[in-house]
Structure 1
Amino acid sequence: MLMPINEVMELSAQRVNAQALLAVRHSEGRSRVHRLYQEGAAKIRLPEVRDDPLEAILINTAGGLTGGDRIAWEIEAATGASVTVTTQACEKLYRSRSGRARVDVRLSAASHGSVAWLPQETIVYDGSSMSRRLEVDLEEGARALIVESTLFGRKAMGEVVTRALFRDRWRIRCNGRLVHAEEFAVGPDVAATLSRPAAMRGSLAVATLLLIAPDAEMLLSEALAIAGDEGGASFWRVAGTGKLLARLQAGDGYSLRKRLAPLVGLLNGKAGLPKIWTL
């Protein structure tokens, strides 16, 4: 007797359980790979570059995340080393039948090291459920640029997100001192939340950019000009370093990217945009 097809699908369903680590150190005049570990669907590819920073591309070979999936990324920059990390494509959060997808990101930079976390946009689909945690530890004189951008459906594709769960938790520390913490939570009634004037006023695309660097204040005026009326930027001096925080929102992903790309290019210094962003 044949098993009902829905039972076959339930038994054969697989869940992503993946992790990857990249450790970079400065050796012979440039940043080089010190350790590289990959497990499951988490892959790291390293395009050839001639100068610092070392550039890494993260790939989720599962093609997206759904309920029950787990993926973890860890990036370490040793003293004087610099690394820019991006993704091969936008991460997609698919409809969840049960459970929640979980993403864990750990970044660290030793004294005068630099790490730039620049993934392409996360696309939230209707019915998806995801919780992401970002932990960053920096030593004195270290530099970090952290960017996360999210699209609640793609307007050009006619996608509408009414119900979903999206959680994003950031904790950034300098010399063991907490310098930035935030919780971004939307759902389950996504449409109602995004329409509120105090939230996103109907915008479907949002980005947060955080630069921790001693010289961050010098970039504030340019950041404000790029952010425009549908965004903003501010600066604080804390724990012996500088903190520049910028937020963008837009009605669609294309409009967001038009301001996001130049702002990332500004805040990422001489490294500019990851090459894959311009392909």
Structure 2
Amino acid sequence: MEGGEGLPLQDVVAQLERLADVRGAESWDNVGLLVEPFTPTVVKTILLTNDLTQPVMTEAIKHDVNLIVSYHPPLFAPIKRIGSASWKERLVAACLENRIAVYSPHTAWDAASGGVTDWLASAFDGHFDPAAVRPIIESNLDVAATPTIVGAGRHLITQQLTLSKCVELVKRRTGLAAVRLSIAIGKAIDSPVTSVGLVPGSGGSILKEVLSTRNSVPDLFVTGEMFHHDILDAAHAGVSVILTNHSDSERGFLADVAEKLRAAFGPNVLVLGSSADRDPLRTV
């Protein structure tokens, strides 16, 4: 599969940052251009993935990819050498050997308007007032200067929904045959849901903050994963929980990004979605 004529790496990165300003990322995160080959890079083919794993790396090399956009940063904890001792060292070495750049947006995409969180929220389209949607945690940046940034999580005021209907909608949006469900104490599968909180990935810490302040506690919380005892706390606080697995609450957004990048780059850059990327957990 041949790529396009190509664009300079810096131009492609600038377009990625127009989609989501990296200043909106969490302070603990590691976002932006994480691997840059020494030789000036012309990007003809981009590969989008949720996680950069060895199967995805093999796929990238096979398709002569110049840039991997990995939602999760493959470099997070510091590494002291680039060799073959660990799988992450091997990935970086392979990127440099094959002149492949790596860009990671992670929580910048989460916080952005029209980003991962809003993609997950769209599971409930038609059942909430878009004008009333607000972030669970507001961005502390100047929104006028960074108009794409909204904040972490979303809180939706919903209508005519039951818990069972919410499960159906989340499964449809994520493409999953099954999700995990915790029904709050005193509630049932047909209980009404008048508000939903959602955070892609791992949202337990944000729900704990909501419960500690008792500010806009939702009937239902949707995220990828949570600790067992945090789920128990939620159940006793009257909050039901839907868990999808961490990356399954995020991965579907990549198709939206692919379309936006194809529209932006036209025939200059071939944009591919990884076929090797998948959540390491399966319900069997």
User: Structure 2-normalised TM-score?
Assistant: 0.25
Higher relative contact order (CA 8 A, sep 6+): 2
- Between structures 1 and 2, the one with greater strand share: 1
- Between structures 1 and 2, the one with greater helix share: 2
